[in-house]
Structure formats: C-alpha cells, structure tokens
Structure 1
Amino acid sequence: MVKTPWPDGLRFAFGTLTVFPVRVSRWDREAARGGMLLAPLAGLAVGVCAGAVGALLVAAGASALLAAVAAVAVPAVLTRGLHLDGLADTADGLGSGKPAEEALRIMKQSDIGPFGVITLVLVLLGQVAALAQAFGDGWARGAVTAVVAATVARLALILGAVAGVPAARPEGLGAAVAGVVPKVGASVVTVVVMVAAAGAGALIGAGESLRALLAVVAAEAATDGALRHCRRRFGGITGDVFGALAEVAATVALVVLSLGG
C-alpha cells in the first residue's frame, strides 16, 4: 500500500497552487501525490475568496459585471496568474503546429505569442460573461458559481497527474507530479467533488444542484479531451499544460453553471 503524508500533501497543494503563506517542506513524489489529491481544497479556498468578493460587491450595489470581473481577478491574483500563463503558453505550443520538441521550446519562452493572447482574451471574456450572468441572478448564485468553478479547476489537475500520464520533459512541475495519483484515488476525489458541488447548488435550489453536478461532469470531460490532445502533441504533461487544464475546466464549469438562471 502506498502511504501518503497528508499534512505534507496539504502544504504542497497550498504552497504550489496558491499565494497563501504556506511553507512546502517536502518536494518528493509522495508529497506531490498528496498535494494533487488535495488540490480541490486549495481550489475551494480560492473560490471562497472569489465568491465572497463578488458577493460583497453585489450587496454593496455594484453591477453584476463588476462583481464578475472581481471574481475572475481574485483567482488570478491568488495563483500568481500561473494557470493563465500556462494556458497562454500551451495555446502557443499547440498553435505553432511544430513537432513536440519545437513546440515545447516555444512554450518555455518568456513571451506570449498571438495564439496565447487570443486564447487568454477569449477565455477571460467567457469567464467574466458567465459569472456576470450568475451574479445577475443574485449574489448567492454568483458566489456558489465562483466556488464550484475554482474547485473543479483544481480537480482537473488530478486528471493530469493520474497514473499512466507521462511527463513531456524530465524536469519541471510536470515531471514532479506526472503519474503520482492512483486511478482509484482520482475517482474517489472526483466523486467527493461531485457530491460537494451538488450540495452547494442545493443551497440555492434543486435545479442548481443538478446544474452544479453537470458542471463537474462537463468540466471533467473537457479536461480529458484537452489532456488527450496535449499528450498527442507534446508526448506528455508539463506545468503549462496543468495550468491550461485548470482554466479549461473552470471555463466549462462556469458556462454550464451560468445557464438556465
């Protein structure tokens, strides 16, 4: 049986995925396994902050659009923009049409190319529009939407780190966490997140509960498709791809959660 140091895993999750002042004491694969399995908890914390800021703005009389912009900005700040940066780099690598080695070199460059810029603009616009719809239906619905989306975004990281997914490079975050999560563990955490999302939606209504559940399913399906494509193009996972998966999952979840208000 593989033992996972949960306290070290929790520090790994918050120390690598957020700006919260948590000191990571272990960087080995056991700590990485725990960190990836507990990643949704880091997402929950980020989502609560985003949802609270948006809800407070709505309660203070701000527009739903302003609340949505704030709710999108908070996760970017609390993650140092790493997921958005990974999304842009992955878009540049995929958009280049180059072989894997050359595409990976493009992704490592510090600048952002046209594919990355276009992808960032469209994704952020989509996220803001979806959250504006949710906050327009009330502060509670907007807050729950922000929390569920942020949690699902970190659930996507588990899929990228599941056993059998190779690293595209021998170094970096991708290599550190590639294949560390057992498939059974990934399935258990996914079910837990699905139940929790449905429960959060139920606080607003039965229809919201079903919608939240569908959001998790849709986000996971989109993540799986994006991961398969990146594996074919790059030969495996990288830190940038992890960021891209998180943003894909968050965006799909937000779109589903914004519908039918």
Structure 2
Amino acid sequence: MAATIFLTRLPLRWKGEWPADLDRRALPWFPIVGCLIGVAGGALYWALTYAGLAPLLAGVVTVAALTWLTGALHEDGLADVADGFGGGRDKDAKLAIMKDSRVGTYGSMALILVVLARVGVLATLADPRIVALALIGAHAFSRGMLPLVKLALPDARLKGVSADQGRPDSARALVALLIGFTLAATTLNKLHLDGGTVSLAVMAVSAAAVWAVAQLAKRQIGGVTGDVLGAGQQMGEIGFLLALAAVVPAST
C-alpha cells in the first residue's frame, strides 16, 4: 500500500502513523506496482482499440491516462533533471533549478520527446496484446531498477524525497531487481521472441538507460535525488519500449 500511495494518485490512505522505515520497506514493491500500472494501461488500450479507435489515438489516450494515474511523478523528475543539468553551471545551481517548480525549455523538450516516443511505440506495436505486455514489462522493469540506483549512489541532498526515503539495504535492492526482471522476462516470453537472448537484450537496453542517467547524475550533482530517480524510470521505460519495438516486428 505504501508503494502504491507513493507511485500513484489512487485515493488510498495509510491508517495510523507512517513508520519511519516504511519508505525503505516499500522499495521492493515498486516493480509490482509498476506491473499493475502497466496492466491498467494495457487494459485501457485494448478497450480503446476494441471500440474502434486507431492505434495512434489509442496510444495518445493511454499515455495520458497513465500520466494521470501516476500523477506525472516521474515525468516531473525528468523535466527537473533536464532543466537542472542543461541550465546549471555548477552543482548548487543545478540543484536549485531542479528544486524550482517551474518547467524551462530543456524540461519542456524532454517531456515532449518522451511523450512522442511512448505514443509512437504504442502506435507502432499496434496489436493490443503486444502493447499490454510491453507496458507491463516496461513499467515493472524500470521501477525495479530504482532501488539499485539508490543503493549505488549517495544522496545529492541532505533533505528531499530520496534522502527522506533512506538508503535501501542490498537485499531489498536485489529483491526489487529480481522481481522487475522476472515480471519483464515473463511478459517478453509471451511474445515468443527468438530465444532468451532477444529478451535479455531488451532489458539490457532499459538497464543501460537507467544506469546512464545515474552516472550522469553522479558527475553533475554528485549523487541521486528523487528527480534523478524519476528521470531514470522514464529513460528505462522508453529504452525498454524502443528496444522492443525494434525487435517485435521481425520476431513475431
């Protein structure tokens, strides 16, 4: 429930006091919540295409609905990272820009590009079954990588979303990664790709995209913030979808 409250805007409320270590304990559940988000998106896309909507329009509505469901949490992080890394001269300036609630040119362009990429992939895949499996795998795997990023990098701020959650232990980070990997591998297996190598390649592209954001953050601001985690999730999701779109037409 804690992971769902954090990652979505569903009207759930925690009864009683919020335990101090609950944020850390919720991290392994991130890929499971991501899987459920993907299921919701896949079900909506399926219903829209069944109702006669073209793949492109169904993709637009699906991406919009998923953005609403998650409260644009990760998209906001991506925009802040793009503005901060693109416009800040040093670490302090970058962190100050990232904390600003306003969205600048770099952030706006980043949001436009990721939305176009997601809609484009859904329209390219087109088939409702493939789209549903793609969304489940992408949302689960990208969120399963986040605890590992938090474990590997120090917090760039002493206070903030990431710092307040605390650093996960290696066991929780590994569990989250294994759950995300298992869910993604299961969905990719249902697409009957050419052996496990192709599925591993899709996940490798997604993991590389997340890790690239993490390493960039380490160089730019010395560590991780909540915005960096959001940007990592977005890049991991896009990497997964793009890689899948590149192999599915030739493999199914």
TM > 0.5 fold call? yes
> 1:114 is aligned with what amino acid?
T
> 1:77 is aligned with what amino acid?
W
Secondary structure of residue in 1 paired with 2:145: helix
> Equivalent of 1:169, from 148, 157, 160?
157
Give the corresponding residue for 1:144.
Answer: 133
Give the corresponding residue for 1:192.
Answer: 179
Secondary structure of residue in 2 paired with 1:26: coil
Give the corresponding residue for 2:229.
Answer: 242
Show structure 1 runs of 5+ residues with no match.
Answer: 1-10
* Structure 1 contact 165–178 (Cα < 8 Å) conserved: no
* Structure 1 contact 230–236 (Cα < 8 Å) conserved: yes
Residues 26-41 of structure 1: pairs in structure 2 closer than 5 A = 26-28=18-20, 30-41=21-32
Alpha-carbon separation, structure 1, partners of 2:115 and 2:133: 19
Q: Which moved more, 1:194-203 or 1:99-108?
A: 194-203
* Structure 2 contact 161–226 (Cα < 8 Å) conserved: yes
> Larger relative contact order (C-alpha < 8 A, sep ≥ 6)?
2
CA drift at 1:177: 2.5
> 1:194 is aligned with what amino acid?
F
Secondary structure of residue in 1 paired with 2:123: helix
> 1:151 is aligned with what amino acid?
A
Alpha-carbon separation, structure 2, partners of 1:252 and 1:27: 35
Secondary structure of residue in 1 paired with 2:234: helix
CA drift at 1:125: 0.8
Give the corresponding residue for 1:202.
Answer: 189
Aligned residues: 246
Residues 11-30 of structure 1: pairs in structure 2 closer than 5 A = 11-24=1-14, 25-28=17-20, 30=21
> Equivalent of 2:145, from 138, 153, 156?
156
CA drift at 1:208: 8.4
Q: Which runs of 4+ in 1 moved over 3 A?
A: 206-213
Residues 1-261 of structure 1: pairs in structure 2 closer than 5 A = 11-24=1-14, 25-28=17-20, 30-135=21-126, 138-162=127-151, 164-180=152-168, 182-207=169-194, 211-260=198-247, 261=249
> 2:139 is aligned with what amino acid?
A
* Structure 1 contact 219–250 (Cα < 8 Å) conserved: yes
> 2:53 is aligned with what amino acid?
A
- Note closer, same or farther for the CA distance 1:213–1:56 as it changes in structure 2 (3 Å cut): farther
CA drift at 1:185: 3.4
CA drift at 1:110: 1.6
Alpha-carbon separation, structure 2, partners of 1:22 and 1:53: 21
CA drift at 1:257: 1.4
> 1:242 is aligned with what amino acid?
L
Q: Deviations over 1:6-47 (max 9, x none)?
A: xxxxx221111111232245252x312221111011111111
Q: Percent identity?
A: 31
Alpha-carbon separation, structure 2, partners of 1:156 and 1:93: 23
CA drift at 1:212: 4.2
Alpha-carbon separation, structure 2, partners of 1:70 and 1:211: 29
* Structure 1 contact 178–237 (Cα < 8 Å) conserved: no
- Note closer, same or farther for the CA distance 1:190–1:71 as it changes in structure 2 (3 Å cut): same
